[in-house]
């Protein structure tokens, strides 16, 4: 029997919070297995060679897994942004809000952007039970489209894209749209999977982007490369560019 939508959301909220508690008490899982891809939408094909689809519940469980703390190192990634206490951050492809919720503790304002309305509803709900009341006001969600992040001109100081850039279809045009939303002196940070011979099955090599391609696309879209790091994370690179 299928649970009502409200009960499904409640179950997922409890699941996400219990995973956070598991991180604190047990230190996470021993087996590290990265996410199956970037921020997918519900029912999206996992890759071009598979007809399997991913349910909303499966995606939430995947994004909130305890071992993600160890291989993706969100605190390290956020530290790379520097002092963001007076900054507005846009998290593109925010999914369950894994990064956005952490950013809300440090940034002046966080806009968690996703193209899936179910993730927007999930983030709006989980912030009420996970974030302190004084921080909830800093956390905003926004429904976008695959071609438009729905940012206002000069709205944000930093754009963060984690596990999502490789899934964008027209990346150059999207980067230019993001550039319009960045304030003068703003920065764009991309975290995505290395296209190297490493012990990593998912996402498949066929959809990963080599680091040099990301750098070239940023240049083509009119960005200035600030830093390119493929050593701090085992499975991913961190690229920072300015406008």
CB atoms within 10 A of CB 75: 10
Higher-confidence position of 119 and 32: 119
pLDDT in tens, 168-223: 999 999 999 999 999 999 999 999 999 988 877 789 999 999 999 999 999 999 99
Give the mean pLDDT of 45-59. Answer: 60
Sheet holding 156-162, edge to edge: 139-143, 109-114, 88-92, 156-162, 182-193, 236-242, 224-229
**Mode of pairing for the β-strands spanning 109-114 and 224-229:** unpaired
**Cβ neighbours for 176, distance < 8 A, ≥ 6 positions apart:** 221, 222
Which pLDDT does position 197 carry in this prediction?
83
**Domain layout of the chain by residue ranges:** 1-29+49-66, 73-242
pLDDT at residue 34, rounded to an integer: 60
Q: Is the pLDDT of residue 51 over 90?
A: no
Total-model pTM: 0.83
Mean pLDDT score, 9-16: 54
Neighbours of 117 (CB within 10 A): 12
What pLDDT was estimated at residue 48?
Answer: 41
**Tens of pLDDT, residues 61-116:** 999 999 999 999 999 999 999 999 999 999 999 999 999 999 999 999 999 999 99
Residue 132 has pLDDT above 80, yes or no: yes
CATH superfamily of 73-242: Vaccinia Virus protein VP39 (3.40.50.150)
Peptide bond into 203 cis (omega under 30): yes
């Amino acid at each position: 029997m299928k649970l009502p939508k409200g009960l499904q959301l409640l179950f997922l909220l409890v699941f996400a919070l219990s995973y956070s508690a598991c991180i604190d008490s047990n230190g996470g899982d021993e087996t590290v297995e990265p996410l199956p891809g970037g921020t997918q939408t519900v029912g999206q094909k996992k890759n071009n060679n598979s007809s399997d689809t991913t349910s909303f519940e499966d995606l939430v469980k995947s994004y909130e897994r305890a071992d993600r703390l160890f291989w993706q190192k969100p605190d390290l990634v956020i530290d790379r942004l520097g002092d963001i206490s007076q900054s507005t951050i846009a998290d593109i492809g925010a999914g369950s809000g894994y990064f956005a919720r952490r950013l809300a503790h440090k940034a002046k304002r966080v806009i968690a952007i996703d193209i899936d309305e179910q993730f927007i509803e999930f983030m709006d709900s989980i912030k009420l039970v996970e974030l302190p009341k004084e921080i909830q006001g800093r956390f905003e969600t926004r429904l976008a489209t695959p071609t438009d992040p729905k940012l206002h001109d000069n709205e944000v100081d930093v754009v963060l894209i984690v596990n999502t850039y490789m899934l964008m279809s027209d990346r150059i045009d999207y980067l230019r749209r993001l550039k319009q939303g960045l304030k003068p002196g703003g920065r764009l940070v991309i975290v995505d999977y290395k296209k190297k011979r490493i012990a990593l099955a998912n996402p498949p090599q066929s959809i990963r982007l080599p680091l040099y391609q990301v750098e070239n696309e940023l240049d083509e879209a009119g960005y200035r490369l600030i830093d390119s790091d493929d050593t701090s994370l085992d499975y991913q690179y961190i690229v920072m560019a300015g406008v």
